[in-house]
Amino acid sequence: MQKRLLVKGNEAVAMGAIEAGCRYYFGYPITPQSDIPEYISREFPNVGGVFIQAESEIASINMLLGASACGARAMTSSSSPGISLKQEGISYMAGSELPGLIVNICRSGPGLGGIDASQADYFQAVKGGGHGGYHIIVLAPDSVQEMYDLTMLAFDLSDRYRVPAMLLGDSVIGQMKEALTPHPYISPGDLPAKDWAVSGKDGRPQRVVKSLFLGDGELEEHNWKLHRKYQELKDKEVRYEASDLDDAQLVVTAFGSTARIAKTAIRMAREEGLKVGLLRPISLFPFPEKAFLETTSKVKRVLCVELNTGQMVEDVRLSVARDADVFFYGRPPGAGSLPTPEELLAQIRKHYKD
Amino acid sequence: MSTEMKQVFSHPDSLKDVQTHFCPGCQHGTTHRLVADAMDAFGVQDRTIGVASVGCSVFLYGYFDIDVVEAPHGRAPAVATGVKRVHQDKIVFTYQGDGDLAAIGTSEIIHAANRGEGMTVIFVNNTTYGMTGGQMAPTTLPSQKTSTSPYGRNVSTDGYPIRMAELLSNLEGVTYSARVAVNSPKNILQAARVVKKAFEVQVKGQGFSFVEVLSACPTNWGMNPLKANARVESEMIPYFPLGTFKDSTAA
């Protein structure tokens, strides 16, 4: 029988990172993600890892940039206000085509906000949170198991495409404990060699990791190159969960912790005889555009639920068939704003039509 | 009697044979040469990684024939920390201007120094933001006119020029901290010795080394190169004294 452990979501991220071969962590304390640096600072000495508690979020992301430029598998983690500070470095990493994992265990905002679960960082995560027009890979786990699994996947995707990756959780997914079945990391085997990483010339031609392109036409071409990678991600790396769609009259869509509540509400609706299905984006960038288009070629009513006042719903509306109706139910994050299954069931009943 | 000729001067291996973009009279070129000579002296060109900062020195990958990572403005010591922690056996240096290191990047330099990261920092102080057109820097001298201190730096509202070499010398993590100038043959020879010493500290694994280089910026000072050189002597050195402020390697 496989070993099952009862662990926190944040610990699952740390365990998955160590299992995936990450040996460089740079971070700064912030609630509700401090379990990650605490776990890593405790475990890294056993595996020869380098843990630095940096002087700031800005320094952490730049240490990650430096380690990644050397070809090392490296990460940082933080929560919403800290991620804002990291955006400069994320933009530089995107421009320099550097891989690396950034974990955002979201808390509520804007400003200092609070420490409650939030999905209000969706825009910041998927639309390129810093300057200059870029995207990063964004994966949204909805369980402790996925915190573990998607951490590994994020490293692989990031290395394959040389695009920074973000794991977008929140304080519910990060702080809750549930069963985790740890499994060994299996490298895809076909990850490209990091033949761009700096290491000292050692007889070969000079290597430069940079995002400055001043020559006539250079920066435009560089941006087209990045754009083609984002298109390739959309073609090849979309991930989502779909269930109960075959006979559905209404599809509920939500990501992360909200999707868990939605799943309960869908089960309750099914018990009432309502034909309701689920489409849960796991990769928020690349967004499952085709899945929404295909689903809404049959199911014409979509209910999007978020812990914010409406962010992912914009991508849902852009993706669905023209004759599909998209409804939104959201609550801004804050203490006591997490919707109950009954609350979502009421929304399902409201928008359901046989 | 031998007629064999001995070569006593040559182009450094670590420096590419290209023209720089630097303005006439700018001393980045001289400072680049001193850094290249230090790398050559220890034979570390092939295992050195430079970290470029933002400012006139951002193009150093075009001049040094070594691996280079370009850092965001002020963040070079944090980037270099990541690099050095991965490549502990390699030589890692940053090359930063005064706006980069002493204003937007004060946090990164102080904490990298305080951790005693085994890197070398070359800090070029020319009392102005060169690349952006001569604005007031944290090192701009009292009463000095710049494009954003058109009536002269007013220390009661703008604060005082920061003496970084002295400031860092107070940190336990710093092994070596010194200030040099490159405005005269004598000072250049001394600067060469100090830059070499700073790299030696790293080559020997002795910790964090820091060299502040007083440098002329004739273009933004509105002077010809000779007058700019004279200003380094008459105005900068009195405020920013040359010398070694810390050397933990001394017997």
Interval B69-80: pLDDT, tens: 999 999 999 999
pTM of the model: 0.97
What string of DSSP letters covers A169-237? EEHHHHH-EEEE--------S-PPP-TT--S--TTSPP-EE-----STTHHHHHHHHHHHHHHHHHHH-
Give chain A's mean pLDDT. 97
Closest by Cβ to B67, choosing from A58, A74, A200: A200
Strand partners, A38: none
| Distance, CA of A36 to CA of A70 (rounded, Å) | 23
The fourth-level CATH superfamily of domain B28-247 is Thiamin diphosphate (ThDP)-binding fold, Pyr/PP domains (3.40.50.970)
Q: Helix (H, G, I), strand (E, B), or coil: what is residue B70?
A: strand
CA–CA distance, A101 with A67 (Å, rounded to integer): 12
Enumerate the residues of chain A whose CB falls inside 8 A of the CB of residue B90: 199-200
Question: Across chain B, what does the average pLDDT equal?
Answer: 97
CB contact under 8 A, B58 and A212: yes
Residue B251 has pLDDT above 80, yes or no: no
Average of per-residue pLDDT across B38-44: 98
Which residues are paired to A276 by β-bridges?
A250
Instruction: Considering only residues A242 and B3, tell me which one the structure prediction assigns the higher pLDDT.
Output: A242
* CA nearest to A142, candidates A108, A167, A165, A122: A167
- Contact (CB, 8 A) for A14 and A40: yes
Confidence class of residue A248 from pLDDT cuts 50, 70 and 90?
A: very high
Report how far residue A254's alpha carbon sits from residue A334's, in angstroms, rounded to the nearest whole number: 18
CB contact under 8 A, A200 and B87: yes
In percent, the amount of chain B with pLDDT more than 70 equals 99
Alpha-carbon gap, residue B47 to B96, rounded angstroms: 20
Query: pLDDT (tens digit, 9 = 90+) per residue, A138-194?
Result: 999 999 999 999 999 999 999 999 999 999 999 999 999 999 999 999 999 999 999
Give the integer Cα–Cα distance in Å for A72 and A64: 9
Mutate to test the interface with A, among B13, B14, B67, B107 (most CBs of A within 10 A): B67
* Domains delineated in chain A: 5-180 (3.40.50.970), 241-351 (3.40.50.920)
Q: At B243, is the secondary structure helix, strand, or coil?
A: strand
Contacts of A58 in chain B (CB under 8 A): 75, 78, 107-108
Q: What is the pLDDT of residue B8?
A: 85
Provide, rounded to the nearest whole percent, the portion of chain A with pLDDT above 90.
99
Q: How many CB pairs under 8 A join A and B?
A: 132
Q: Which spans in A23-79 are helix H?
A: 35-47, 57-69
The token duo for A204 is 């070969």
pLDDT digits over B172-225, tens only? 999 999 999 999 999 999 999 999 999 999 999 999 999 999 999 999 999 999
Q: Do B47 and A202 touch (CB under 8 A)?
A: yes
Q: pLDDT (tens digit, 9 = 90+) per residue, A254-302?
A: 999 999 999 999 999 999 999 999 999 999 999 999 999 999 999 999 9
From chain A, the residues in CB contact with B87 under 8 A are 70, 199-200
The ipTM, to two decimals, is 0.96
B window 112-151, beta carbon within 8 A of A: 115
Span B116-158, pLDDT tens digits: 999 999 999 999 999 999 999 999 999 999 999 999 999 999 9
- Tell me the domain boundaries of chain B: 28-247
Interatomic CA distance for residues A68 and A263, integer angstroms: 38
pLDDT value, residue B2: 63
